[in-house]
Structure 1
Amino acid sequence: MDADGLAELLERFGLSEKEIDTYLAILDHGESKASTIADAADVSKRYVYSISEELEERGFVEVNDHAVPTVIRPVEPETVVQRLTRSVEEMEPELQSRYTRTERSGEQFEVIKSRQTVLKRIEELLAMAEHEVTLSVPATVLPRIRSTLEETTDRDVLVLLLVGTADGSEIDPASLAGTASTVRTWDALVPTMLTVDRRHGLLAPSQILTSSTSDTRAISLSQGQLAPVLAGSFLANYWPTAEERHVTSPSPLPSTYGGFRNAVFQIALHHGDDTRLEATVEGSPVGDRDRPTKLSGEVVDVRQSLVRPVTSSVPIENAFEIDVDGDRYSIGGSGAFLEDFEAEAVTLRRLER
């Protein structure tokens, strides 16, 4: 480190430019008179007396004003560093107590260059998921993120996991239990794609996770307009082609879902078990604003491609219909425009036959 680098570091600890020049002169000359330091630092002798007292209070120097003339000597650098380190460590508890974790800016884009940072970001995003996750990763990455996936699934988050096995990896379907709501595998080099709650996303070439010499880059984003586009690409281009290897059991009812795809997923599972369901949906009517903002009725149809058998006409379609006193209403999720109702929350209950 050169003198400029050292000066920059000292500035971070609150020393001014003149204070730094004076302190470095003291270090260079060892035990010295004020006049010697003043000449070396190009400052007045009066300033040296003044600043030396402040440096002494901070633990950088010692001033012997019993000697005539006054003598100033530097404190051992090791001791100075230890004192500074202690001061920084003592700040941490108070900093932590005042720290408030907030979400990253809604318009943030981040270019990621390293494998470790990509894995860290995947785990961070999984940990914050509340409603739904779509994720495709190479099979070799699964052991690293498995525990985080299991914790996410345990929070009743819908996790759609696609594992790429282009490297010849063999996966035992029984080993996939608990890692996701449903898991598919594809013997192809799929990109690493992650979306969380329609707000956060990550996109990376698989090479950044499978090759130590890759110079590829990943992009992490937090933007409500782009994350759903990634999820749509995942569901339309990759999910239908992959082989279904694991599907979780239906969740206990009644239950309320803030994520619409999760509600559709559960309806599909329960219908697969021939369970009659009642759905109460809260949100807003599409088009006709005179309709109520809350509807309840028996679920009579579901259109989806999240689990097999597929019942939707296109891969990204997720909707269901309910019968309300003989009238059928189609229910869609956020941004619905073809359906009769845009749901913000869905409560499912079992109906007795």
Structure 2
Amino acid sequence: MTSDESAAIDAFERLGLTSYEAKVFIALQQLGSGTARDVARTTDVPRSQVYSVAESLEERGLLAVQQASPIRYRPVSIDEAQTTLQNRFEREQERAFEYVEQVKRDSAEEETQEDIWTVRGRERVDDRVVDLVSNADDRVLFGTRLPDLVTPALGDALESSAAVGVAVTVVSRDEGVRDRLGSLEGVTTDLPPTHREDDERSGRILIVDDDALLLSVVDDSGGETAIWSSGSLFASVLIQLIEASEELR
């Protein structure tokens, strides 16, 4: 088998034919017409397999069967075969994507969709924080004990949100964090209600409006992992719990 023939067979397989079907179809194009014996001599398809393969090709509309003794097979023209396979491909594609679209519609019609995502790596958490802040409509509450987590991009996002009327508050027990972000136009700062002296794990907390939340932790090597949720019942309930716990202290 030449490399060109092998590539053609691979291509037919991607169009939905089996390897044997592709080989028999190509052989019959070479022969013009032939019996199972003729096809078996031309290809490596066993003669006993040619009959079932030819029957399958007939069902696909790619060859005609002459009821003679012995049975002879004649392939359809190349143009007709191309049209047949193209139409079949389009039908299968339509059927596949109709199902996917229906699944997507069914998912969208659910009463609630609880999406809780995990983000690993400081840069990726940075990006997620900035994205959430940038989409705020009413308020932003950002808190961290670590000055390293206060990036220029975060400062720009907080200041931009404040400029369009979003209430932006930063809470931190670190004076440097409060001074740095408190110097931004429209950003207010405050001390957290309480904190644990032995806290060496917390990274940052972000609350946006009443339905977006991000919480992160920092490991011993300085790596950061965050969970976040936006537009979900989970986020709304957790925000309420966090705020209620602070009011009780």
Question: If the length of structure 2 is used for normalisation, what is the TM-score?
Answer: 0.49
* Higher relative contact order (CA closer than 8 Å, sequence separation 6+): 2
1 or 2, which has the higher strand percentage? 1
Question: If the length of structure 1 is used for normalisation, what is the TM-score?
Answer: 0.36
